[in-house]
Each structure stands twice: as structure tokens, then as C-alpha cells.
């Protein structure tokens, strides 16, 4: 199949400490709420105070778990994860939560949202220290878990306080041992992570929408550079770094659910406001504003409200495309975008359209969409984008294309317009996007738009989605790294469906 022509989500994490509750089901519904963040694999770890058990597999949350499986996962602590692979390929070994057993018998299960930029350095360190547990996995999350488990002289909490300052990149972590739930966030707070309160416990999640679905009340965000521990003694917090907030602005544009709140600002309200500002920056005479469902809908509403042009639904989306493991035949594949979107011809015919979408990555989707709308009778097609041109890849947890593949990386706005065949093209400016978030520019990461990476990047050959696979091959050739089995007993606690 062709490369995906849209920003791909990163991952979703969820944790619960709730004696007396069915924590596996809490995790299931929490992950269900953040399924949009990762649709390749899912897993839940639970502890009953004496042992940690992990159940994970490739697939959606609803495909991996059923009633009987959840009923068998008993305990009062849970960590859940839904995955889109930003480091390492999509395999059972790379599904999360990751799991390790220390030499003292303590178990660790960890879920990670984000992406480290010093993964190869950490992997070499693990190899040089003779740390076992890589076992064919190829993720930064596995390396972190192995390093956490490698200090028998320290508690998990103390080991985390030692390890966290050595990690570079984006990470929102939820992890656990037999007795304690932990949460940590990188010093920049690139990826979201929130704390919620249950009547009989606590919840940690990637988005506030997951708190809502399990009936938890929002308490606060996990702060950048903070480590939280929750156990029978309550909740405690430590600072392992001075916070330097650089939240991902693309969470507001596309990644987060519209019913989520980030830094006190509702995502839906932000997207509608972006649409209003887009209309002021790029007005056009037209008959109808239509969104590219569903990511373009709030901005299209804002554009219509500000411009006075009627809003309508001109495209119907098949919600299940992209969430199937059956590859389309060549005949179906040639239909391209129609697998995902189909036009309402009676609505489109004879109209001058404004089509609002959240972003343009490679341009293939917009090119096919414009062609389809013209074939359906549209007189004019004016494309409006509720984010600036994506010119730079993300190394902090979004699987954007490489710079060479980004259509805006090599073309100006008129060049992109010609490439996709639109009558006009307008992007919201970065200043107006940031204004719509109501966050200070200094607290946001906009590297995919402006190339200003707030966390220093290593050389090009030591970064990328498959960096560990490449590094392991290189180091194997030097005889410095051996693929070792997981620590004794680890496989026994991780259940393969």
C-alpha cells in the first residue's frame, strides 16, 4: 500500500491505582477513549500486590480483549497502552506494556507515549553494562524498562529518579511494580499526561477524555520533569528536572480528541477558533464550506461562522477504514481515497467549495480529494488548512514522513496548490494557530512547522523509527551487543494470546 498521507498518532497510556475496583476494565475503557492515539497494538498489565501479569497483542483494544480475558486480570493496579509504532516495527514483541523482572524479583510493566532521541546511546549503554532483556524487541520503551530493572541496589522509584535525567526526547510514562503506580513526564512536557481522582483511587491518562469515560475527576496535569508515585500511603511527587514546557502544538490541531482539555484549553474550542482565524487570513468567495471528516470539522465550522458562507457535509467517511488488518486488492487500492471518503454529489454539484482539512503531509490525499470533488460537479475547489505547512519531520512521537517526502518541504504554497490541483490554497499562519491555543509561544513545540527543535537531536544515522534495529545490527557486527533472552521468569508473566 502507499505510505499513509496523514500525521499518524503516537500512543496512548493509562494507569489506575484503585483497590476494590476492576482495574483491568477501567484500563480497557480508558484505552478505548484514547484508541485514536494508537491502533496497532494494545495491552494491559495488572498487579494484585504479589505479582504482575501482562496481556497484550496486535490489534485494537476491542480486538485484543474480551470479557473473559479482562475478568482474569485481577488486581488493584493497572497500566494500559495502545500503540502506534514510532520506534520499532509493529510486532507482538514491541507491543506494550513492556515487562521486566529485576534480579531481586520485582516486576516492572511500562507504557510509553512519545519518542526518545538518544535511544541508540541508551541501547549501547545497556549492552556495555551487560543488561539483559532486549529479547528481539526494538523500541526505546524496552530499553528504558531494561535500564529501570537493572539496579537491584535501588528501589524502582530511586532507579527512575536516576534514569529519567539521562533520557532525551519526549516521554509520558505510566509504569508499575507489584505495589506502586508511577507516572513521569519529560522536562519539556511534549506529550500530554493528566492525573485524575476516583472515589477509591487514582487514574493517570494521556488525555482528559479517558478520565471522563471511567468517571474520574480531573485533578491536574502531570508536570514536566515530575515523577509521581501512588501506593497504599497515598500520592507523592518528586521533581527530577527543572520544567521547560514545550507542549506539542499539533495536539491541538489533530492528535487529541476534540473533547479533551490541554493546559486549560478545550481542544474543540481551539479548533473552531483556528477556523475563524483561517477565514480572516484566507477569505474567498464560495457557496459552501465542507470539512474533510472528521479532523477538519471543527475548523470548518469556525471558517463558516467567520466567513458567513454556509456550512455543509459534502463528504461521507467510512469510520472503519485504516482499522482493518485485511489488505485491499489492487482493484480496491486503485480507488484510493474512496475507501475512506465518498462525495455527496447532490450537495457538491454546481458549487464553489471551501474544503477545510487539518494538514497536508505528502499531498496525495488532497490531490485525490480535489479530483474527486471536481468529478462530482464542483465548480471550484478552494482548500484551507488549519495548520501551517508541515515542512519538518517530528522526532518526538508523531510519525510524519521524512523531509524529502513532505510536499511543503520542497514547494512554496502556490507550488503545493498546483500539485494538489486546487483553485486556491491557504494555510493558517503559525502566529494565528498559537494565538488560538491561548498558550504562550514559548511553551509550545512547533518544530514540524518551523524546524526549531526544542530538544537537541543526534546525528541523522542515530535517529528514526527503526534506529534500534539498525543499531543492533551495527553493534552486533562489532561483537559488542548480543541479543539476550529476557530476564529469568519474564516470559512466564507476559501472556501471549
Please list the active-site residues.
11
User: Which of 396, 418, 392 lies closest to 405 in space, CA to CA?
Assistant: 392
| Radius of gyration for the chain, computed over Cα atoms and rounded to the nearest angstrom | 23
| Residues 24, 30: Cα–Cα separation, whole Å | 10
Is residue 156 within 8 A of residue 103, CB to CB? The reply is: no
Report the binding-site residues: 248, 295, 357-358, 394, 445, 448
- Residue 244 burial by CB count (10 A; 0-12/13-18/19+): exposed, middle or buried? middle
Half-sphere exposure of 39 (CA within 13 A, CB side): 10
Partners of 173 in the beta sheet?
112, 184
3-class SS at 454?
A: coil
Is residue 110 within 8 A of residue 55, CB to CB? The reply is: no
Half-sphere exposure of 490 (CA within 13 A, CB side): 24
E strand or H helix that includes residue 182: strand 181-185
Q: How many CB atoms lie within 10 A of CB 130?
A: 9
Q: How many CB atoms lie within 10 A of CB 95?
A: 27
Report the binding-site residues for [4Fe-4S] cluster: 248, 394, 445, 448
Report the binding-site residues for Mg(2+): 295, 357-358
Q: How many CB atoms lie within 10 A of CB 27?
A: 32
Is residue 20 within 8 A of residue 200, CB to CB? The reply is: yes
User: Which of 141, 180, 143, 136 lies closest to 158 in space, CA to CA?
Assistant: 180
User: Which of 149, 10, 12 lies closest to 88 in space, CA to CA?
Assistant: 10
Is residue 102 within 8 A of residue 486, CB to CB? The reply is: no
Amino acid at each position: 500500500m502507499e505510505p499513509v498521507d496523514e500525521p499518524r498518532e503516537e500512543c496512548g497510556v493509562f494507569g489506575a491505582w484503585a483497590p476494590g475496583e476492576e482495574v483491568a476494565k477501567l484500563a480497557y475503557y480508558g484505552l478505548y477513549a484514547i484508541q485514536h492515539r494508537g491502533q496497532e497494538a494494545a495491552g494491559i498489565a495488572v498487579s494484585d500486590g504479589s505479582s504482575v501479569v501482562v496481556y497484550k497483542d496486535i490489534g485494537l483494544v476491542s480486538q485484543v480483549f474480551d470479557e473473559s480475558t479482562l475478568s482474569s486480570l485481577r488486581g488493584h493496579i493497572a497500566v494500559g497502552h495502545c500503540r502506534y509504532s514510532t520506534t520499532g516495527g509493529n510486532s507482538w514483541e514491541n507491543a506494550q506494556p513492556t515487562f521486566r523482572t529485576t534480579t531481586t524479583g520485582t516486576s516492572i510493566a511500562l507504557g510509553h507515549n512519545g519518542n526518545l532521541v538518544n535511544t541508540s546511546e541508551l541501547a549501547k549503554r545497556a549492552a556495555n553494562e551487560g543488561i539483559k532483556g532486549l529479547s528481539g524487541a526494538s523500541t526505546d520503551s524496552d530499553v528504558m524498562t531494561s535500564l529501570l530493572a537493572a539496579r537491584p541496589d535501588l528501589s524502582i522509584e530511586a532507579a527512575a529518579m536516576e534514569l529519567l535525567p539521562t533520557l532525551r526526547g519526549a516521554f509520558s510514562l505510566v509504569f508499575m511494580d507489584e505495589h506502586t503506580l508511577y507516572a513521569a513526564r519529560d522536562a519539556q512536557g511534549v506529550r500530554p499526561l493528566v492525573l485524575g481522582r476516583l472515589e477509591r483511587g487514582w487514574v493517570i491518562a494521556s488525555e482528559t477524555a479517558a478520565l471522563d469515560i471511567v468517571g474520574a475527576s480531573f485533578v491536574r496535569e502531570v508536570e514536566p520533569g515530575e515523577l509521581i508515585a501512588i501506593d497504599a500511603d497515598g500520592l507523592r511527587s518528586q521533581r527530577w528536572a527543572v520544567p521547560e514546557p514545550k507542549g506539542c502544538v499539533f495536539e491541538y490541531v489533530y492528535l487529541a480528541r476534540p473533547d479533551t482539555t490541554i493546559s486549560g484549553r478545550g481542544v474543540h474550542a481551539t479548533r473552531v477558533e483556528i477556523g475563524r482565524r483561517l477565514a480572516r487570513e484566507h477569505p474567498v468567495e464560495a457557496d459552501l464550506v465542507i470539512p474533510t471528516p472528521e479532523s477538519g470539522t471543527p475548523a470548518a465550522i469556525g471558517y463558516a461562522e467567520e466567513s458567513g458562507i454556509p456550512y455543509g457535509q459534502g463528504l461521507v467517511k467510512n469510520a472503519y477504514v485504516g482499522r482493518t488488518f485485511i489488505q485491499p486488492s489492487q482493484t480496491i487500492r486503485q480507488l484510493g481515497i474512496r475507501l475512506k471518503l465518498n462525495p455527496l454529489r447532490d450537495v457538491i454539484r454546481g458549487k464553489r467549495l471551501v474544503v477545510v482539512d487539518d494538514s497536508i503531509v505528502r499531498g496525495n490525499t488532497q490531490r485525490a480529494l480535489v479530483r474527486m470533488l471536481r468529478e462530482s460537479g464542483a465548480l471550484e475547489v478552494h482548500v484551507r488548512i488549519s495548520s501551517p505547512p508541515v515542512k519538518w519531520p517530528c522526532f518526538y512521537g508523531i510519525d510524519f514522513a521524512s523531509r524529502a517526502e513532505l510536499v511543503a518541504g520542497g514547494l512554496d504554497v502556490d507550488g503545493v496548490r498546483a500539485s494538489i490541483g486546487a483553485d486556491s490554497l491557504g494555510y493558517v499562519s503559525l502566529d494565528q494557530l498559537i494565538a488560538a491555543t491561548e498558550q504562550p509561544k514559548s511553551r509550545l513545540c512547533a518544530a514540524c512547522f518551523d524546524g526549531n527543535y526544542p530538544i537537541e537531536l543526534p546525528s541523522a544515522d542515530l535517529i528514526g523509527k527503526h534506529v534500534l534495529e539498525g543499531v543492533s545490527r551495527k553493534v552486533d557486527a562489532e561483537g559488542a551487543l548480543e541479543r539476550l533472552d529476557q530476564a529469568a521468569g519474564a516470559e512466564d508473566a507476559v501472556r501471549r494470546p
